[in-house]
Amino acid sequence: MDITTPPIAPEAGPALADAAPTPHEPPVIRREDYRPFPWLVPEVRLDFTLGLTHTLVEAQLTVQRNARADRAETIRLNGDGLAPLGVLVDGAPVDWHMDGGDCIVPLRGETHLITITTAIDPSANTQLMGLYASNGMLCTQCEAEGFRRITFFPDRPDVLSVYRVRMCGDKAAFPVLLCNGNKIAEGDNGDGTHWAEWHDPWPKPSYLFALVAGDLVANSRPFTTCSGRVVTCNIWVRKEDLARTDHALESLHRAMKWDEEVFGREYDLDLYNIVAVSDFNMGAMENKGLNIFNTKYVLADPDTATDADFDAVEGVIAHEYFHNWSGNRVTCRDWFQLSLKEGFTVLRDQLFSQDMRGEAVKRIEDVRILRAAQFPEDAGPLAHPIRPDSYREISNFYTATVYNKGAEVIRMMRSMVGEARFRAGCDLYFARHDGEAATCEEFVKAIEDGAGIDLSRFRLWYSQAGTPRVAVSQEVEGDRLRLTLRQSVPPTPGQPHKQPMPIPLRLAVHSRRGALGEERLIVLEEAEQSFDLPLAGPDPVVSINRGFTAPVIIERTLAREDLVFLAAHDDDPFARSEALQELAVAHLVGVASGTLAPDEQAAGEAAIIAAFASSLADNALDDAMRGELLLLPSETYLFEAMAVGERKADPGAIHAAREGLKAAIGAALGGELRALHARASAVAREDPAGRGARKVKTIALGLIAAADPAAAAALAAAQYDAADNMTDRQGALMVLAGLDCPEREGRLADFYARYRDNALVVDKWFSLQALSLHPQVIDHVRALAEHPDFTLRNPNRVRALHMAFAGNPKAFHAPSGEGYRIIADVILALDPINPQTAARFVPALGRWQRIEPGRAALMRAELERIMAAGKLSRDTFEQVSRSLEG
């Protein structure tokens, strides 16, 4: 589901940059201030006496001086909301003191044993960071800085320790006791409590610590590694969820095998545990040997999960597994290096999914996500390089830039050197830095040395924010084509001037008469550079950035017939879908900004309809790819394309233009779309072609609905009633939810009644109403926020209702400003409960500078209202203040 984050306008209100700092202004942490920690902590022993409302933690830290750091006479142990019950050094009390949340302990010698005791109430932990209670079980989330909410510790990723953990708790409440590594002992205390002791032989930073205690059952199946070791793999869930865990377990095995074959990485413990919890701030967490997952990315069966949900489970399971090497064996020196593990691991999971599901469609999907989530971020007030220079709250930097653009940057290196040399670079990286906390610079150096390439200028991709724009012009000279490329990287907050960066572009020069040119890779190094290329025939058409080799915006005005040619004939499937997108973007931005003459508008619409018609008729296409070719660019992406230079985005005009085009396509191709729907409906669920059929079925319904709502309502109701899987059922209900039709209410009520006991499906019920095209969606969202199943305490539920709503461009950007007010109210209500999740809503309001002045003023006013509300969390304060500064 597309989460929209709209753009902004500078004249819309006074800037807050000069305002006096609020008394609660949190400090700025800077990358340049990094210093090694003065102490090493080679060993940690933790002893937990577990209870839902009262847990006692005794920590023993073996510390020794770090010869590579400045000498210190104290040790700073980070804490957040903790009070030490006792602090001993080598068994004796010492004169410790607090500095903010941290505990400062004097240490004079070379090595010491620090013993420190804390008590916590997991049931009161609504932030879901540290140790918290969820559905009667106890679990942890420590990345980035949650461990300091459990015990006092140097809670930074460059302090690596071997952990030994003992946990004791009530046998009935917590029959299963899990931690990182291997279980080395367990026993019964004979008083209704039991205990287990775990040892993780691999040194790790505190953010990878995990503990789970609860009433869980496992789906278990061994995996034999390439060297013949047998690894027990368990997926732990509540008993009632066990039947929906096979896909997760199979995905894990596939990921383990793929990482051996493609990256030469073998798993390194005898046990791999995954636990699913329903209260979780994000998707999943890669704790060593004990991944903790949001249930959304574990549980799947055809009745309750869509095909897209199945893919997401496979992708996230793989992502967390791949972190075992890219993140755990080699971790980050500091949090500015986050993309070292996240960008690399996203690339690895994308390559895995490409291999599992087909390269072309997966690449198109990944680029769509990048454009919908990362391009707007890079063009707004929260833009930052993939390796940021400063932050106030690191949780705010788990962004599409660090993750998805980070993956694109590494993918570019891979494209430039080829698969084999990239693999050599990765091997060198893992060999050089195994067991260390490394930097992005060290990663680039390893690729440089291992792959044999000079990446000096390429490093700019790590330090410069903003999406580069590449302007293309061409000239024919005899039998050659002279292609001239000009790059510019737009200014971003704190970075007014940029340098040109190496931009690898796969391209081919086709002839519109039919001959396809050979593909080659060029690297644009300079601000402006020309390339002489052979012609394949007359009327050359350049197919550029094939496969999306670089995360850039290509600026060119290609004749409509050239785009139609590429959309129908390009031999690169990505380029083919891209030509259609280009055709649609140019047309829709033209219509929305009122710059097209009526005959141009008619010609543009006719060309798009013709391209859609040929995608519908092309028997060489499979339905999965056909589906991609039948999707128009998202409204978020169209905002970006409209807000160029002085021109602002007009969400209302974009929505109207896009819906108008959908209606024109639906009207012109109604017969073909109905035939497609009928053909796809006849494909059985188990048929290998079933997936693609389900995808095009709902896309066809959406286009028919835009032109003929009554016909679409009847078809959707029939699809809903006949559905034997969630993809069809949800797809049909999504279309019905957007229509003011008699079929709507009954199906929505049926869906809720059918699945009311399944939280993940109830989330879908909230989302599809919040995302709908229905004219009363704002009233629906207000009513749903009062529904007995709605709670601000469960992040999945808040995201299902309010994040979906913020991603519904028509409703969120209602000219009255009501959409903005709903989201601002949620931020204010959620901030004291769960600041991390609250802050995630701010970017939706934050892009006011690139939006038309009326809405921009309303968005800005909501941000100011949040700011004025007083004591905000670090998370929300940082996002709101940056959004106001622009």
Where do contacts with ligand B3K occur on this chain (CB under 6 A)?
Answer: 143-144, 282, 284-286, 319-320, 323, 342, 395, 398
Angle between helices 598-617 and 651-668 (to 10 degrees): 50
* Residue 345 or 404 having the CB closest to Zn ion: 345
The DSSP code sequence of 57-95 is EEEEEEEEE-TTS---SEEEEB-SS---SEEEETTEE--
The DSSP code sequence of 201-261 is EEEE-GGG--EEEES-EEEEEEEE-TTS-EEEEEEEE-GGGGGG-HHHHHHHHHHHHHHHH
Residues 6+ apart with CB under 8 A from 701: 677, 712, 715, 716, 719, 731, 732, 735
Min dist. Cβ of residue 342 to Zn ion (A): 5
Min dist. Cβ of residue 876 to Zn ion (A): 23
* Kind of pairing between the strands at 29-30 and 390-391: antiparallel
Report the partner that residue 282 touches, choosing among ligand B3K, Zn ion, none (CB closer than 5 to 8 A by kind): ligand B3K
Report the partner that residue 143 touches, choosing among ligand B3K, Zn ion, none (CB closer than 5 to 8 A by kind): ligand B3K
Report the partner that residue 144 touches, choosing among Zn ion, ligand B3K, none (CB closer than 5 to 8 A by kind): ligand B3K
Report the partner that residue 626 touches, choosing among ligand B3K, Zn ion, none (CB closer than 5 to 8 A by kind): none
* Residue 327 or 731 having the CB closest to ligand B3K: 327
> What does residue 275 show for φ and ψ, rounded to 5 degrees?
-120, 135
Report the partner that residue 395 touches, choosing among Zn ion, ligand B3K, none (CB closer than 5 to 8 A by kind): ligand B3K
Q: Distances in Å between the alpha carbon of 36 and those of 158, 241, 516?
A: 8, 45, 56
Q: Are residues 799 and 3 in contact, defined by beta-carbon separation less than 8 angstroms?
A: no
Report the partner that residue 285 touches, choosing among Zn ion, ligand B3K, none (CB closer than 5 to 8 A by kind): ligand B3K
Residues 6+ apart with CB under 8 A from 227: 266
* Kind of pairing between the strands at 74-77 and 55-65: unpaired
Report the partner that residue 578 touches, choosing among ligand B3K, Zn ion, none (CB closer than 5 to 8 A by kind): none
- H helix or E strand, kind and range, residue 48: strand 39-49
Question: Which one-letter DSSP state was computed for residue 146?
Answer: T
* Residue 77 or 284 having the CB closest to ligand B3K: 284
Report the partner that residue 649 touches, choosing among Zn ion, ligand B3K, none (CB closer than 5 to 8 A by kind): none
And the tokens for 28? 């700025």
Report the partner that residue 867 touches, choosing among ligand B3K, Zn ion, none (CB closer than 5 to 8 A by kind): none
* Residue 314 or 708 having the CB closest to Zn ion: 314
* Kind of pairing between the strands at 39-49 and 161-170: parallel
* Kind of pairing between the strands at 176-179 and 230-237: unpaired
Burial zone of 769 (CB within 10 Å; 0-12 exposed, 13-18 middle, 19+ buried):
buried
Min dist. Cβ of residue 187 to ligand B3K (A): 33
* Residue 281 or 849 having the CB closest to ligand B3K: 281
**The length of the chain, given as a count of residues:** 886
CA angle (639 as vertex; 638, 641 as ends), nearest 5: 60
CA angle (115 as vertex; 109, 118 as ends), nearest 5: 140
What's the rounded Cα separation, in Å, for the pair 197 and 189? 13
Min dist. Cβ of residue 851 to ligand B3K (A): 28
Q: Which of residues 138-197 bind Zn ion (CB under 5 A)?
A: none
And the tokens for 391? 């932050």
Total residues binding Zn ion (CB under 5 A): 2
The DSSP code sequence of 377-396 is HHTSTT---SS-SEES-GGG
Q: What are the residue numbers of the active site?
A: 320
* Residue 40 or 159 having the CB closest to ligand B3K: 159
* Residue 160 or 285 having the CB closest to ligand B3K: 285
Q: Are residues 6 and 639 in contact, defined by beta-carbon separation less than 8 angstroms?
A: yes
Would the CA dihedral through 595, 599, 604, 608 be positive or negative?
positive
Alpha helices by DSSP H, listed for 723-847, are: 726-737, 743-755, 759-770, 777-784, 795-798, 804-806, 809-812, 818-830, 835-839, 842-846
> What does residue 388 show for φ and ψ, rounded to 5 degrees?
-65, 160
* Residue 326 or 719 having the CB closest to Zn ion: 326
Min dist. Cβ of residue 398 to ligand B3K (A): 5
What's the rounded Cα separation, in Å, for the pair 844 and 796? 18
Q: Quick one: how many helices (H) and strands (E) in the chain? A: 31, 31
Dihedral of the alpha carbons of 439, 443, 446, 450, in degrees to the nearest 10: 170
* Residue 286 or 628 having the CB closest to ligand B3K: 286
* Residue 323 or 498 having the CB closest to ligand B3K: 323
Report the DSSP beta bridge partners of residue 474: 483
* Residue 175 or 283 having the CB closest to Zn ion: 283
728-737 burial, b at 16+ Cβ within 10 Å, e below that, comes to bbbbbbbbbb
Min dist. Cβ of residue 340 to ligand B3K (A): 12
DSSP-based helix, strand, coil % in the chain, nearest 5: 45, 20, 35
Residues 6+ apart with CB under 8 A from 186: 177, 194, 195, 196, 197
* Residue 157 or 692 having the CB closest to ligand B3K: 157
Min dist. Cβ of residue 258 to Zn ion (A): 17
Distance, CA of 658 to chain centre: 26
Q: Are residues 400 and 373 in contact, defined by beta-carbon separation less than 8 angstroms?
A: yes
The site string for Zn ion over 334-353 (x = CB under 5 A, - otherwise) reads --------x--x--------
Min dist. Cβ of residue 268 to Zn ion (A): 18
Min dist. Cβ of residue 284 to Zn ion (A): 8
Min dist. Cβ of residue 324 to ligand B3K (A): 11
Among the listed residues 255, 181, 204, 184, the one whose alpha carbon sits nearest the alpha carbon of residue 225: 255
Q: Distances in Å between the alpha carbon of 763 and those of 321, 751, 782?
A: 26, 11, 16
* Residue 219 or 326 having the CB closest to Zn ion: 326
Where do contacts with Zn ion occur on this chain (CB under 5 A)? Answer: 342, 345
